[in-house]
Amino acid sequence: MRQTVIAGNWKMNKTPSETRLLLNEFKELLKNSKSKIIICVPTISLKDACEIAKDTNINIGAQNVYFEERGAFTGETSPEMLDDIGVKYVIIGHSERRKFFGDTDDTVNKKVIKAIEHGITPIICCGETLSQREKGVAINWVRKQIKIAYKDVTKEQAVNTIIAYEPIWAIGTGKVATSEQAQEVCHTIRKCLAFLYDEETAEKISILYGGSVTKSSIGEIVSQADIDGGLVGGASLTSEFAEIVNIADN
């Protein structure tokens, strides 16, 4: 039985001071939750966030990582740096990184491999655009993203990864995919993992849905057979996040 995972993606929101305040609030609100909670904060707040979350049930994640160990890569953060301050999760290949910062399926794969090498669990994002959905190519697109993301990832490594299916047309738009649409793609992703590895491995990997998740939609989303939780953007910036976790718990 897979544990429900609720991850918050704060994107480029909250200063370090605001981060401390909100995390302290979450710490109290979430202390009895059963779901695995991961909060992905901006890089500048990671160290503070890790300190606040120490000895709590909140896990801290980064929103990106680079695939080289060190060197002349101005502005980037290496997996070793994340590991050094206790970051255990990292979002890789979010559609905003793909759209604005040049992430591709190949760089996603390199980042996934590096994160795993450093014991950091990648939260691998995939998802189609509206026009791909309208053309009926969404499923094949996501399957391709997954196959490339897991290239050279062993079965033993794959079980410690998380996937977030985030249809791009549903991110920050208020348009949630219907639970049938989300389940259909998440089921395809699990099938694809079974093809790449085996059924047993595929059954162990958590697949989240992301895209305008709120307290009104989370219940139906997590009731789907192949959806194990949510990657929550906007609604993770307020106490609504605790309500989402609470609903997912029950």
- Residues designated catalytic: 94, 166
* Structural tokens at position 169: 């047309």
Taking the least distance from each CB to ligand PGA, the nearer of 78 and 233 is 233
* Structural tokens at position 149: 């993301």
Contacts of 56 (CB under 8 A, 6+ apart): 27, 30, 31
**Cα of 113 vs its chain's centroid, Å:** 16
Taking the least distance from each CB to ligand PGA, the nearer of 30 and 177 is 177
Q: Which residues contact ligand PGA (rule: CB under 6 A)?
A: 9, 166, 171-172, 210-213, 231-235
Half-sphere exposure at residue 189, Cβ-oriented, CA atoms within 13 angstroms: 34
E strands within 88-228? 89-92, 121-126, 162-165, 206-210
**Cα of 115 vs its chain's centroid, Å:** 13
Q: Residue 110 CB: number of other CB atoms within 10 A? A: 16
Q: Confirm if 8 and 39 have CB atoms less than 8 A apart.
A: yes
Q: Length of the chain, please?
A: 250
Q: How far is the CB of 183 from ligand PGA (least distance, A)?
A: 18
The rounded distance, in Å, linking the Cα atoms of 16 and 20 is: 6
Q: How far is the CB of 181 from ligand PGA (least distance, A)?
A: 15
Taking the least distance from each CB to ligand PGA, the nearer of 136 and 174 is 174
Q: How far is the CB of 204 from ligand PGA (least distance, A)?
A: 23
The rounded distance, in Å, linking the Cα atoms of 35 and 125 is: 20
Taking the least distance from each CB to ligand PGA, the nearer of 146 and 232 is 232
Q: How far is the CB of 233 from ligand PGA (least distance, A)?
A: 2
Helices 138-149 & 105-117, crossing angle to 10 degrees? 40
Q: How far is the CB of 75 from ligand PGA (least distance, A)?
A: 21
Taking the least distance from each CB to ligand PGA, the nearer of 222 and 232 is 232
What residue is closest to ligand PGA based on CB? 233
